């Protein structure tokens, strides 16, 4: 019997495995499932957010009592105190997030799943970023009340988003590396802080610029550096996460 040629122009006759867009949809379904898993687990346990929030509020209170300064001086140190709070609380969250996955055996299950490992990385990164944004959304009004400083500045919020993305992108990659060791609680800050110094310094400078209402020409170089840092380290994490999680 003579075989009939396949009509390549008819989408209904294209095999399911060859249908265009299917790998991309599967990738985003995997990414969304990982993010939802982290959010659902945190809603049940409230272990991660509560620890980050208590730690962040304690840092703010300590600075509030330690810096007995006048209003003008307090305004000048606002950006530094904010980013110290974000970085310390974020480091605690990054460490606990990956440690929970490791201790419960979830990380091994994710790595054994037949999915692209970059989806695992980006899913964990988005989850960590959501947790950090929640903490920052609580810290900002609390800080405003304690220090009597108006922090609801659109430019400041943009800097916080850019700085948080760069910090979490690097932190998630390094926490996946450090979680395999016995000294993970100590190793992560040692590996992370030297790499995020450019983010911290640039974010503090840009935040201070917006709070002090300086000219945008002085702030744009810091914003451009934050954007470049985010793009570069997202690309590096995409390329190297597969090697980092290999034992």
Residue 2 included in any domain: no
Asked if the structure places residue 52 within a domain, the reply is yes
Residue-wise pLDDT for 21-70, tens only, equals 467 778 888 888 888 988 888 888 787 888 889 999 998 888 877 776 66
Judge whether 226 lies within some domain: yes
Residue 13 clears pLDDT 60, i.e. is over it: no
Cβ-based neighbour number of residue 119 at 10 Å = 21
Looking at the predicted structure, is the pLDDT value of residue 247 above 70? no
- Return d(Cα 177, Cα 191) in angstroms, integer: 10
Domain count, the chain: 1
Q: Does residue 5 lie in a domain region?
A: no
Is 177 in contact with 244 (CB distance < 8 Å)?
yes
The pLDDT > 90 percentage for the chain reads 28
* Residue 162 belongs to some domain of the structure: yes
Q: How confident is the model at residue 73 (pLDDT cuts 50, 70, 90)?
A: low
The pTM score is 0.83
Q: What is the model's pLDDT at position 49?
A: 87
Q: pLDDT (tens digit, 9 = 90+) per residue, 129-184? A: 999 999 999 999 998 888 778 888 889 999 999 999 999 999 998 888 887 777 77
Is residue 40 in a domain? no
Residue 199 domain boundaries: 47-244
Whether 7 is covered by a domain: the verdict is: no
Q: Is the pLDDT of residue 19 over 70?
A: no
Within-domain flag for 211: yes
């Amino acid at each position: 019997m003579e075989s009939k040629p396949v009509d390549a122009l008819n989408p209904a006759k294209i095999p399911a495995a060859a249908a265009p867009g299917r790998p991309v949809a599967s990738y985003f379904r995997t990414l969304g499932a990982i993010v939802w898993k982290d959010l659902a687990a945190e809603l049940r346990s409230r272990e991660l957010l509560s620890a980050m929030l208590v730690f962040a509020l304690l840092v703010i209170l300590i600075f509030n009592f330690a810096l007995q300064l006048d209003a003008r001086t307090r305004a000048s140190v606002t950006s530094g105190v904010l980013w110290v709070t974000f970085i310390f609380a974020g480091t605690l969250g990054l460490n606990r997030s990956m440690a929970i996955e490791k201790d419960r055996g979830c990380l091994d299950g994710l790595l054994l799943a037949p999915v692209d490992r970059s989806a695992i990385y980006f899913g964990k990164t988005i989850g960590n970023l959501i947790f950090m944004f929640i903490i920052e959304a609580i810290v900002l009004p609390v800080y405003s009340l304690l220090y009597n400083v108006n922090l609801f500045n659109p430019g400041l919020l943009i800097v916080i988003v850019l700085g948080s993305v760069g910090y979490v992108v690097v932190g998630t990659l390094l926490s996946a590396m450090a979680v395999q060791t016995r000294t993970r609680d100590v190793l992560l800050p040692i590996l992370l802080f030297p790499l995020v110094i450019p983010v911290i310094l640039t974010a503090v400078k840009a935040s201070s610029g917006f709070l002090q209402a300086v000219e945008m020409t002085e702030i744009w170089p810091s914003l451009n550096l934050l954007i470049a840092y985010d793009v570069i380290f997202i690309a590096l994490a995409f390329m190297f996460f597969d090697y980092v999680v290999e034992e």
